Amino acid sequence: MATQVAPITEQNKVLFVSGPAATDAVTGAGAYTFRSGRQTSQDISTAAAFIGDTQGKKVVVFAQDSAFGQANVAGVKAVLGAKGATVEPLLVPASATDFTPFATQAKESKADLLFVAWAGTTAQAMWTALGQQGVFDATKVVTGLDITATWPSYGKVADKVNFLSHYFAGAAGTEIEKAMTERVTKAGGTVDLFTGDGFTAAQMIVHAAEQGTDPDKMAQALSGWSFDGVKGKLTVRAEDHALLQPMFQAKLTGGETPTAELVEKLEADAVAPPVVKK
């Protein structure tokens, strides 16, 4: 939806701050379009950091054969292929219910990194199959850490999965995160994956509104702006409005009721997306 809103924003000269939409297409979409969350290439760079230098490495994208899965394949090829990795897709039919053959293929691929991009109700069966076929002993398996409600779906393999993380409660350890958490909790809410995006959007909107109602002045104020956010120092890159930000690597512990623990924080420049030339 964000990519559909952006052209309308440009036509009408109205400020647009996109939140959770991860598509890289929002970056560089126009003079009035900004984002308060991360983008796909930042996710992929965070995943790649688990294996270090990707030059000459083999990366297999394990995903459903759907628009979502194919988009992830394209994203990994664009980011890691450009860094010298060989990227191969292993796409599973969306109608599949038996994942054993595909898990076997994943194990036999001899990948340095298995990047799992999965959505939907078959996730638990898929993870179980990967565990049963010994995939975790054969390669490093990485996927994105989703909302808290999905964590039990990893079942017995939860502690074997390496997670790239945009954000989870307590990941940043900043004063602003503490302040946000206090306010959300006091209001009866729970901090989760996208809570920080909303807080960041509010910071950006307030900063823009301080300039008055002229959309050009508001956009100019945000372009190139660096500020302290929930995750740490954030910068709206002037060239294309990418939001440069830290990312996290995490693990789940605790069995049937897992909790997330921080493994490493990656600074913004380590995962910065390529500049979009307008």
Domains of the chain: 2-34+190-242 (3.40.50.2300), 42-165 (3.40.50.2300)
pLDDT band at 98 (very low <50, low <70, confident <90, very high): very high
- Quote the pLDDT of residue 262: 98
pLDDT in tens, 4-57: 999 999 999 999 999 988 989 999 999 999 999 999 999 999 999 999 999 999
- Quote the pLDDT of residue 1: 83
Short-list 85, 90, 98, CA closest to 116: 90
The Cα–Cα gap between 85 and 48 comes to 10
pLDDT in tens, 107-146: 999 999 999 999 888 999 999 999 999 999 999 999 999 9
- Quote the pLDDT of residue 154: 92
- Quote the pLDDT of residue 193: 97
pLDDT band at 254 (very low <50, low <70, confident <90, very high): confident
The Cα–Cα gap between 222 and 12 comes to 18
In degrees and rounded to multiples of 5, residue 182 shows phi and psi of -60, -45
List alpha helices for the chain, DSSP H: 2-12, 40-48, 67-80, 100-108, 123-132, 135-138, 175-186, 195-209, 215-222
In degrees and rounded to multiples of 5, residue 143 shows phi and psi of -150, 170
- Quote the pLDDT of residue 277: 84
pLDDT band at 61 (very low <50, low <70, confident <90, very high): very high
- Quote the pLDDT of residue 68: 87
pLDDT in tens, 171-227: 999 999 999 999 999 999 999 999 999 999 999 999 999 999 999 999 999 999 999
Task: Please determine, for residue 278, whether its predicted confidence score (pLDDT) is greater than 80.
Answer: no
Task: Please determine, for residue 149, whether its predicted confidence score (pLDDT) is greater than 80.
Answer: yes
Average pLDDT over residues 49-66: 96
Distances (CA, A) of 187 to 175, 178, 183, 240, 277: 19, 14, 6, 35, 42
